[in-house]
DNA sequence: CTGAAAGCGCTAACAC
DNA sequence: GTGTTAGCGCTTTCAG
């Protein structure tokens, strides 16, 4: 087998426990032996066996990540690499590793999560999404396992630490921006409503209109839950109305790209005939034609903070729940214009 | 602490070793005791401690994933969720978990990888990219640790198991497609040339032109290595030439989006004035305006096969290296047209 | 077919 | 300051 703590101990002429203490950088070890032990480690090319360590002190120094089912198209959204980048950066700062759940169906993922929790493979979990009726959250709550959620939970909000944007306000801000540009007939093209943020943004949209005394029309609200084709039909129909919208608030940049595509087919010019604002400010918002005015929700930071929060919770083993709101900002580009 | 194998043993009135055998589904255990043990496990809600297991039999049932430095923009490419999906699916089929490397600089990642290999946290590694002068590959080769690479390695090709497209052919096919449409002045907009696939596609492009007896012009080849701004200048310059290209082969869909954007600014119509073909066939190829003719390289399959190969290698502990080529296919959309 | 016991490599009392 | 020792929870000979 590989070189162990015993080999190092022998070479350095100390007890294994001393080596262990040197690794932990225990203050009660003399500098001299520390040096000697370190030299021995160096010479033998020693690396600690992390499983053994985990077993002995029941701490894994790894965080579990739960992604949505890879069967879903949500998975393909460039949102994920970006949160991952945030989480990864913070995790690395604290020398934590990242274990990700596998499984394509919801049930498989659920079981994988139970496996990693009960199997003592992770110290805490970051949920990379928040959706309705999530068994995983119920489970974690039930066994009282540390976790944070990116996005606002549907249930048990008061018991859960989560990181979110103020999506309600983001929806309002986006809509207000269009209102300020002089638009009054404003439509809303939503994403999957089983995700919490879609809901919140929709509420914000409604509120903004209401505050301006503009009455809502259910016609103006289209959800993407349906198939590609159906969404397309809905939009085509929407734009064929005599009093069709002059501006659209769209759930996210990816959906916005689809919308632009459909509008181009209909030969409706953006932003001349219709303005479009969307959310997330993915890299692609910048390079779409026209470039998208988009609400930057700071995805990287969502990830970073989610990891930070969880790590702090683990360090202090506090059970206090927290809510962190990451700021957003409208990035003005060429898909919006005055009425 | 949690419920262990001993608790189960006690309840089922057997020895711990018997429980262990039941978990492993050892054939020499009678069906009767198996049932009894399983009931006990059920009743107590037993879950094996995976660290203990790993320690005892030195197998972790987890694969390590190495991503490019998250400091790089390559990281944000939607390519990654999709390979991940492939890897994850295969890994799950064999009940393997996934551990991903953290770290933002190359050096940090290198150390993280060494940590997960020496720390015995993974049984094998999938490299999610292939680039020049990669120390990680050198290291893995050096310590003789099982791994597979997505993309063709720059060095030591004969010693490495890798999964790749035939990017040379893909580049040729893409170029030939444009040639068949009657184009003759064809440009190439490359991505980061430190990635192998860029290189190969470029070679294929050159070969195709050469076979048609069309002489290469260095003017027609633009690399994206530079800043956004610089690339833009280059393209603007390219298109201002009197004999500017009537078609472009572009490194990947994401870059193609940028190209479309720049062409739109220059009021050059696609595909009327210029045809554009790109690679990867990401979801966004479909929804860009115009939709992109793109070479589908089967990203999901690249991931799936990489995991499959690695897993097979682990199962048979064969040292045989293998090269797997994933087929590609041109998906015709609206960004290309006859000359 | 099942049990007893050793040991995987490390940490953490407890000694001195 | 450092050594001794007893586990962490599992697997795996070796007996029987």
In a structure prediction context, what are the per-residue pLDDT tens digits for chain B, which is 339 residues long? 689 999 999 999 999 999 999 999 888 888 889 999 999 999 999 999 999 999 999 999 999 999 988 767 777 788 888 999 999 999 999 999 999 988 889 999 999 999 999 999 999 999 999 888 899 999 999 999 999 999 999 999 999 999 999 999 999 999 999 999 999 999 999 877 778 888 899 999 999 999 999 999 988 998 866 677 888 888 899 999 999 999 999 988 988 998 999 999 899 999 999 999 999 999 889 989 899 999 999 999 999 999 999 999 999 888 889 999 999 999 999 999 998
- CA nearest to nucleotide D9 C1': residue: B52
* Sheet (strand A247-250) strand order: A221-223, A186-190, A247-250, A275-279, A293-296, A329-331
CB contact at 8 A, B201 and B261: no
Q: Are strands B329-331 and B293-296 parallel, antiparallel or unpaired?
A: antiparallel
Residue B168: how many CB atoms within 10 A of its CB? 20
Pull the structure tokens for residue A286.
Answer: 């910048």
| C-alpha distance from B210 to closest chain A C-alpha (Å) | 33
| pLDDT confidence of residue B225 | 66
Please give the domain boundaries of chain A with CATH numbers for all domains.
Answer: 1-46 (1.10.260.40), 60-165+302-327 (3.40.50.2300), 167-296 (3.40.50.2300)
User: How is residue B100 annotated by DSSP?
Assistant: E
Beta bridge partners of B276: B248
Strand nucleotide closest to residue B120 (CA to C1'): C9
Pull the structure tokens for residue A334.
Answer: 């060429």
Of the partner residues A2, A76, A104, the one whose CB lies closest to the CB of residue B89: A104
Pull the structure tokens for residue A44.
Answer: 């033998």
pLDDT digits (tens, 9 = 90+) for A128-185: 998 888 999 999 999 999 999 999 998 999 999 999 999 999 999 999 999 999 999 9
Best of A74, A287, A290, A299 to substitute, by most chain B Cβ atoms within 10 angstroms, is A287
- Name the burial class of residue A338, with classes exposed (0-12), middle (13-18) and buried (19+) by CB atoms within 10 angstroms of its CB: exposed
Best of A23, A51, A108, A191 to substitute, by most chain B Cβ atoms within 10 angstroms, is A51
Distances (CA, A) of B109 to A81, B115, B139, B143: 16, 10, 12, 17
The full 3-state SS of chain A, as one line of letters, equals: CCCCHHHHHHHHCCCHHHHHHHHCCCCCCCHHHHHHHHHHHHHHCCCCCHHHHHHHHCCCCEEEEECCCCCCHHHHCCHHHHHHHHHHHHHHHCCCEEEECCCCCHHHHHHHHHHHHHCCCCCEEEECCCECCCHHHHHHHHHCCCEEEECCCCCCHHHCEEEEECHHHHHHHHHHHHHHCCCCCEEEEECCCCEHHHHHHHHHHHHHHHHCCCCCCHHHEEECCCCHHHHHHHHHHHHHCCCCCCEEEECCHHHHHHHHHHHHHCCCCCCCCCEEEEECCCHHHHHCCCCCEEEECCHHHHHHHHHHHHHHHHHHCCCCCCEEEECCEEECCCCCCCC
3-state DSSP call for residue B164?
A: strand
* Sheet (strand B124-127) strand order: A323-326, A161-165, A147-150, A124-127, A62-66, A97-100, B97-100, B62-66, B124-127, B147-150, B161-165, B323-326
In chain A, pLDDT over 90 holds for what percent of residues?
75
Task: Inform me whether the C-beta atom of residue B202 falls under 8 Å from chain A C-beta atoms.
Answer: no
Preceding peptide of B321 cis, ω within 30°: no
Q: Which chain A residues have a beta carbon less than 8 Å from that of B115?
A: 47, 50
Section A248-267 average pLDDT: 92
Residue of B nearest to A85 (CA): B70
Higher per-residue pLDDT: A38 or B227 = A38
Residue with tokens 């994920």: A80
- Name the burial class of residue A42, with classes exposed (0-12), middle (13-18) and buried (19+) by CB atoms within 10 angstroms of its CB: exposed
Residue of B264, B287, B291, B77 whose CA lies nearest to A290? B264
Give the whole-angstrom CA distance, residue A123 versus residue A251: 34
Strand nucleotide closest to residue B28 (CA to C1'): C1
Q: Measured at the alpha carbon of residue B41, what is the angle toward residues B38 and B43, in degrees to the nearest 5?
A: 110
Per this entry, what is the length of chain A?
339
| pLDDT confidence of residue A174 | 98
| A65 pLDDT above the threshold of 90 | yes
Q: Are strands A323-326 and A275-279 parallel, antiparallel or unpaired?
A: unpaired
Pull the structure tokens for residue B86.
Answer: 């492939």
| A72 pLDDT above the threshold of 90 | no
3-state DSSP call for residue B279?
A: strand
Of the partner residues A92, A103, A287, the one whose CB lies closest to the CB of residue B261: A287
Of the partner residues A47, A85, A108, the one whose CB lies closest to the CB of residue B118: A47
- CA nearest to nucleotide C2 C1': residue: B18
CB contact at 8 A, A332 and A294: no
Interchain pair B81, A82: CB under 8 A? no
| pLDDT confidence of residue A73 | 73
Protein residues with beta carbon less than 7 Å from any atom of strand C:
A 1-2, 4-6, 16-17, 20, 23-24, 46, 48-49, 52-53, 55-57; B 13-18, 21, 26, 28-30, 32-33, 52, 55-56, 58
3-state DSSP call for residue B208?
A: helix
Residue of A62, A74, A69, A192 whose CA lies nearest to A135? A69
Helix or strand holding residue B105 (H, E) = none
Distance between the alpha carbon (CA) of B114 and the C1' atom of C8, Å: 21
3-state DSSP call for residue B90?
A: helix
Give the whole-angstrom CA distance, residue B298 versus residue B311: 20
Please state at what angle helix A196-211 crosses helix A167-180, rounded to 10 degrees: 40
Interchain pair B290, A97: CB under 8 A? no
CB contact at 8 A, B109 and B71: no
Q: Which chain B residues have a beta carbon less than 8 Å from that of A51?
A: 51, 54-55, 60, 119-121
| pLDDT confidence of residue B1 | 65
Give the whole-angstrom CA distance, residue B178 versus residue A87: 43
| A209 pLDDT above the threshold of 80 | yes
Distances (CA, A) of A37 to A53, A253, A257, B111, B264: 18, 55, 59, 21, 65
Residues 42-71 of A with CB under 8 A from B: 47-52, 54-55, 58, 60, 62, 70
Kindly provide the b/e burial profile for residues B132-150, where b requires at least 16 CB atoms within 10 angstroms of the residue's own CB.
Answer: eebebbeebeeeebbbbbb
Interchain pair B115, A47: CB under 8 A? yes
Distance between the alpha carbon (CA) of A182 and the C1' atom of C12, Å: 70
| pLDDT confidence of residue B79 | 87
Pull the structure tokens for residue B240.
Answer: 């201002």
| A28 pLDDT above the threshold of 90 | no
| C-alpha distance from A89 to closest chain B C-alpha (Å) | 6
Q: How many CB pairs under 8 A join A and B?
A: 173
| pLDDT confidence of residue B224 | 66
Helix or strand holding residue B46 (H, E) = none
In strand C, which positions have an atom below 7 A from any protein CB? 1-5, 7-13
| C-alpha distance from A331 to closest chain B C-alpha (Å) | 17
Interchain pair A287, B257: CB under 8 A? yes
Give the whole-angstrom CA distance, residue B326 versus residue B76: 23
Interchain pair B97, A96: CB under 8 A? no
pLDDT digits (tens, 9 = 90+) for A86-109: 999 999 999 999 999 898 899 999
Interchain pair A288, B291: CB under 8 A? no
Pull the structure tokens for residue A203.
Answer: 């509420």
What does residue B134 show for φ and ψ, rounded to 5 degrees? -90, 115
Give the whole-angstrom CA distance, residue A68 versus residue A311: 22
């Amino acid at each position: 087998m590989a070189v162990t703590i015993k080999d190092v101990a022998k070479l350095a002429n100390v007890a294994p426990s001393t080596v262990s203490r040197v690794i932990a950088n225990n203050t009660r070890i003399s500098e001299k032996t520390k040096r000697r032990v370190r030299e021995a480690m160096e010479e033998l090319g020693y690396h600690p066996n992390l499983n053994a360590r985990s077993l002995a002190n029941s701490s894994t120094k790894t965080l579990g990540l739960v992604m949505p089912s890879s069967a879903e198209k949500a998975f393909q959204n460039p949102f994920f690499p970006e949160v991952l980048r945030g989480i990864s950066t913070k995790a690395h700062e604290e020398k934590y590793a990242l274990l990700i759940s596998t499984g394509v169906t919801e049930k498989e993922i659920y079981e994988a999560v139970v496996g990693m929790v009960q199997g003592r493979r992770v110290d805490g979990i970051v949920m990379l999404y928040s959706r309705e009726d999530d068994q995983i959250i119920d489970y974690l709550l039930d066994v009282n396992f540390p976790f944070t959620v990116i996005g606002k939970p549907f249930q048990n909000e008061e018991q859960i630490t989560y990181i979110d944007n103020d999506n309600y306000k983001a929806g309002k801000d986006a809509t207000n921006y269009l209102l300020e540009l002089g638009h009054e007939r404003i439509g809303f093209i939503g994403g999957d409503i089983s995700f919490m943020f879609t809901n919140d943004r929709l509420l914000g949209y409604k509120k903004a209109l209401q505050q301006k005394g503009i009455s809502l029309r259910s016609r103006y609200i289209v959800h993407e839950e349906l198939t590609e084709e159906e969404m397309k039909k809905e939009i085509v129909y929407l734009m064929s109305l005599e009093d069709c919208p002059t501006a659209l608030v769209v759930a996210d940049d990816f959906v916005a790209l689809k919308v632009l595509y459909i509008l181009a087919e209909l030969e409706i010019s953006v932003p001349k005939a219709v303005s479009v604002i969307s959310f997330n400010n993915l890299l692609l918002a910048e390079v779409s034609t026209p470039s998208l005015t988009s609400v930057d929700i700071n995805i990287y930071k969502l990830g970073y903070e989610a990891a930070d929060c969880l790590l702090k919770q683990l360090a202090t083993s506090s059970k206090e729940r927290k809510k962190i709101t990451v700021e957003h900002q409208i990035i003005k580009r060429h898909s919006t214009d005055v009425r």
